[in-house]
Amino acid sequence: METDMVLGLCGTASMVFHCPPVVMRILSNICAWAPTIVLLIGFKFFCSGRSIAHFYKKAFGGKISIVTLVASAILTLGATIITVFVLSLIQGKAFGEYWHSDTLLL
């Protein structure tokens, strides 16, 4: 959903209205937060009879095991390393070149 909104709103703003980069950044942030904004505005309609506090307590109240936390960290790190490795093979650059601070995309 966010991708469609970004392409539709930001693409139109860029191509039709020639908006500056700061407007594009604001629009993309609004698109990223759109599901949360819709949930908060329409909460009483979507979840009648419940409070927001009860909803969040039920959704996020479970305990997190250390094994799950470590496994998710390892998966994220592994996916990043594999992606950079494949990118280095495709572009023909050394794997280590992607880890310098001047080449990181933040």
Other C-beta atoms closer than 10 Å to the C-beta of 67 total 8
- Cα–Cα distance for residue pair 96/99, rounded to 1 Å: 6
One domain for residues 10 and 41: yes
Low-confidence ranges of the chain (pLDDT < 70): 1-7, 9, 11, 14, 101-106
Within a domain: 73: yes
Cβ–Cβ under 8 Å, residues 50 and 56: no
Expressed as residue numbers, the domain containing 33 is: 2-48
Does residue 41 sit in the same domain as residue 11?
A: yes
Instruction: Give Rg (Cα) of the chain.
Output: 20
When divided into structural domains, the chain yields a total of: 2
Decide if 60 contacts 34 (C-beta within 8 A): no
* Global pTM exceeds 0.85: no
Residue 56, domain member (yes or no): no
Q: How many CB atoms lie within 10 A of CB 31?
A: 19
Asked, for residue 57, whether it belongs to a domain, the answer is no
